[in-house]
Amino acid sequence: MYPSLALLDNALASGLMLGGFYAAVAIGVSISFGMLDIVNIAHPAFILLGAYTAYVGNNLFGIDPIIVSIVATPLFYLLGVAIYHVYDISFERRGDESIRGLAFFFGILFITEITLDLVFGVDYRLVGAPYIGPSLHFGILDLPLRLLVPCGVSLALIAMLQLFMSHTFTGRAVRAVAQDPMALRLMAINPSRIKRIAFGLSIASTSIAGAVLIIIQPIEPSIARDYIGRIFAICVMGGMGSFGGTLLAAVTLGIMESLTSTFFGPSWSPAVAFGFLLVTLAVRPAGLFGRR
């Protein structure tokens, strides 16, 4: 009984920490897809770009990957602003964002993957840091720091974005543009400018998420595709544009995957996780925290 209890407790703890990581990778989609209705299918590619940025800074200069990601965040923000500017001019203003805009982001996904493949090759890359390897021990609980530290960073990222959205004029304007762009125009606020800022924040978050990813596992250019389904599933299950819902959905998915992998094998975890998504949406079509 004691080994089974230890196994269960450690699986739950790992699932909670894994859920924190999932929240970091999904929070950007909660902004772009949940608030702006932009189906940025290339979001995982930007996360991978952030991971390789952390790898380069760590490998060449010995800088902690989290520090590298924080320094690179403004560059990712500017990248997001530039991409939205092209998207806005080419598709959104013409009303072609639904299909052609989706193809635009598919193109970015594959171009990024191929570029990373050509530059770094197909070998797995990893980073070094003092917290990769050691664990904290509390009785029967083992908490690997390579999961605990990224989870803490992820929660800090979500908290800062929530504070920005709730306590700044620009953040409240981002929430408003998702509901009534015409009201913003009546207040002499350009919705395109607000969307540009919001999309920039969405891509800026991928710098942090990428560092968190490479701390948890080695990376290679094609793994971005593994996260497309999970990211959008978390966003939808949590409720479109809800940060609290995104976090709860991410933690739920992490626990489900961890328990399934521990007791039934890793191959079952995606099926169980997405089965839970279908059940949740059947009960609450708007998601856990979505507006009815």
Q: What is the pLDDT of residues 43-94, one digit of tens each?
A: 999 999 999 999 999 999 999 999 999 999 999 999 999 999 999 888 877 7
* Regions of the chain where pLDDT drops below 70: 1-3, 95-98, 180-186, 188, 285-292
Find, among 261, 272, 250, the residue nearest to 10 by Cα: 261
pLDDT of residue 272: 75
Torsion sign over Cα 186, 170, 213, 84: positive
- For residue range 151-175, what is the model confidence (pLDDT) as tens digits? 999 999 999 999 999 999 888 888 8
Phi-psi region of 241 (alpha: psi -120 to 50; beta: other; left: phi over 0): left
What is the pLDDT at residue 1? 43
Architecture of domain 2-283: Orthogonal Bundle (1.10)
CA 165 to CA 175: how far, in whole Å?
7
Domain ranges of the chain: 2-283
Structure tokens at 142: 């083992």
d(CA 91, CA 100): 7
Report yes or no: 132 and 145 within 8 Å, Cβ to Cβ.
Answer: yes
Alpha-carbon separation of residue 252 from 28, 77, 110, 234, 268 (angstroms): 18, 29, 30, 9, 16
- Residue 133: which region, alpha, beta or left (left: phi > 0; alpha: psi -120 to 50)? left
